[in-house]
Amino acid sequence: MDKLMDKKKKILLVSPARQRDKNEDFVFKMPFLNLPYLAAVTPADYDVSIVDEEHEQVDFEAGASLVALSAQTPVAPRAYQIAKQFKMRGTPVVMGGVHVSTLPDEALKHVDSVIIGEGEFVWKEVLEDFEKGHLKSVYKSGTDYDLAGLSWPRRDLLNPKFYIPLTMLETTRGCPHKCDFCGVSRFFGHHYRKRPLEEVVNEIQSIFGNGFRHRFNHYLSKLGIDLPYFIERRLIYFIDSNFAADQAYTRELMKTLAELDVLWW
C-alpha cells in the first residue's frame, strides 16, 4: 500500500498564512472549506494533502508535482512568495480564489495558472492539462453551476488539533441582493443558489447523526445534563454569504438541526 502511495503524484494544496503585526494576537483559527472542496474532486490516483501555513511549515522539498494555492486578498502577497519558492524548484503552481479571480493579471506574474470562479468544476481539466505538460494561463470556471451533487469537502485532510472545534458547512452560494460594494456579488453575480436540502441534511447527518456522541448526548440530555459545545463538538459554522435569504429553505434546515441537537453559528 505504501509503495502504491509513493508512486502517486503529490498535489499540495496550500493555504498561506496571514502576515501579522508583531503586537497582533493570534486568538483562534477556524478550519476552511475551499481546499477541502478541491481535494474532494481530485482523482484518487493523486496523493493530495493540505498545508495550512497558519500552523505548519510549507515543505518546499516535499516532492510536490503540482502546487495549488488559495488566497483572499490579505494573504495574496504571502501566496506569491510561496509560489516563487516552488517555481524556483521547477514545480508548477496554480492559484484560485476570490482575489485572483478578480485580479488574474496580477496573479499571473507569480503563478503558472489562474483559476477564475468555482474550482471544483474546472479542476479535472486543470489536472488533465498538467498531465500533458500544458497548463493554460487562465481557466475560466463559472459561478453559476447547479450545486446538486456537489462532492462533500475532504475535512479529513485538515488536522483538527489546529482548529477550534466546529464544523464548517455550506448550504448556499451567492446572494440575491445587489450591493455594489460587496465582493460576493462581484464574484458570484446575483444568482443565489441552494444545495438540495436533502443533500445538506445527509451531510449533516453523516457528521453528527448516528455517532456515539449523538447517542451519548441524547442520554445525557434525558438526565438534564447539558455538555458545553466544545466537549460535544456539535457546532456548525455556516459559511454562506447569506444564510437565510430563502426563509422556507432555512426553516426546513432548522428542523434537522433541532432534531439532531446541533448548535449553529
In whole angstroms, the minimum distance from the beta carbon of 6 to ligand B12 comes to: 24
Which of 135, 107, 108, 106 shows the shortest CA–CA distance to 122?
135
Give every CB contact of residue 76 below 8 A, 6+ residues apart in sequence. Answer: 99, 100, 106, 107
Report which of 82, 107, 65 is spatially closest to residue 19, judged by C-alpha positions. Answer: 82
Find the shortest distance in angstroms from Cβ 86 to ligand B12: 13
Q: How many residues bind ligand B12 (CB under 6 A)?
A: 30
| 260, 210 Cβ separation under 8 angstroms | no
Q: Identify residues 190-249 at the interface with ligand B12 (CB under 6 A).
A: 239, 241
Question: Which of 166/262 has CB closer to ligand B12?
Answer: 166
Bridge partners, 167 (sequence order): 236
Q: Per the structure block, which three cell numbers stand in for 216? A: 451519548
Shortest CB 87 distance to ligand B12, Å: 15
Q: Rule CB under 6 A: say whether 34 interacts with ligand B12.
A: yes
Burial class (CB in 10 A: 0-12, 13-18, 19+), 39: buried
Q: Which DSSP state fits 208? A: I
CA distance 78 to 87: 14
Cα angle 201-158-250, degrees, rounded to a multiple of 5:
25
How far apart are CB 72 and ligand B12 at their closest, in Å?
3
In the stretch 78-97, what mask flags binding to ligand B12 with x, by CB under 6 A?
Answer: ----------------xxxx
Q: How near is the Cβ of 60 to ligand B12 at its closest, in Å?
A: 18
Residue 112 or 217 having the CB closest to ligand B12: 112
Distance separating alpha carbons of residues 111 and 169, to the nearest angstrom: 29
For residues 114-133, which are near ligand B12 according to CB under 6 A?
115, 118-120, 123
Shorter beta-carbon distance to ligand B12: residue 139 or 217:
139
Residue 150 beta carbon to ligand B12: minimum distance, rounded to whole angstroms: 9
Residue whose CB is less far from ligand B12, 40 or 201: 40
Part in contact with ligand B12 (CB under 6 A); list of ranges 41-49, 82-90, 130-138, 178-186 = 178-186
From the number of C-beta atoms within 10 Å of its C-beta (0-12, 13-18, 19+), residue 245 rates as middle
For ligand B12, the closer of residues 37 and 217 by Cβ is 37
The residue ranges that bind ligand B12 (CB under 6 A) are 18, 30, 32-34, 37-38, 68, 70, 72-75, 94-99, 115, 118-120, 123, 170, 182-184, 239, 241
